[in-house]
Amino acid sequence: MQKLLIYSNILTKHYYGSRGLSRLRKRSKKHEAALATFCPKFHRAIELVGRRWTGAIIRTLLGGRRRFSEIAAEVPGLSDRLLAERLRELELEGVLQRVVDTGTPVRVDYELTAAGGELDATMRALATWAERWVDPPGAKRTARRA
């Protein structure tokens, strides 16, 4: 491991030169400091959106208001119990809201809040990244070029 680090330092010095390397280190220290202050919120957001099935639920709701059964039909393999749990979590976090129509029969819909709607660009970027870099389940991993 130590040999690898030394080799990496040699390559970095060769590529950036002595002045460029010091600029790179300064930039990375500033960047690390900025990320350190941002980290708790970022970590919480990643944990929330990255939980199993949550991204699929959000992506479904980006299409507009949906009933429980519609969400369940659009996300195959998701149990009703887990869907109800994820919907409660997202409601508590303010990502979606539960809308109850007090008619006969009572109708419950789910829709994204303003905060949830702002995830649209993030979900689109993640979908684009996945199309480029993630192989479908069960497929052989292929080498990709940038």
Per-residue confidence (pLDDT) for residue 112, from 0 to 100: 98
What is the distance between the alpha carbons of residues 75 and 57, in angstroms, rounded to a whole number? 7
The stretch 104-108 carries a mean pLDDT of: 92
The stretch 86-102 carries a mean pLDDT of: 96
**Inter-residue long-range contacts of 81-84, CB under 8 Å, 24+ positions, other chains counted:** 82/52, 82/53, 83/53, 83/57
Contacts of 12 (CB under 8 A, 6+ apart): 21, 24
CA atoms lying within 13 Å on the CB side of residue 6? 3
- Model confidence at 41: pLDDT above 60: yes
* Domains, the chain, ordered by start: 52-133 (1.10.10.10)
Who has greater pLDDT, 113 or 135?
Answer: 113
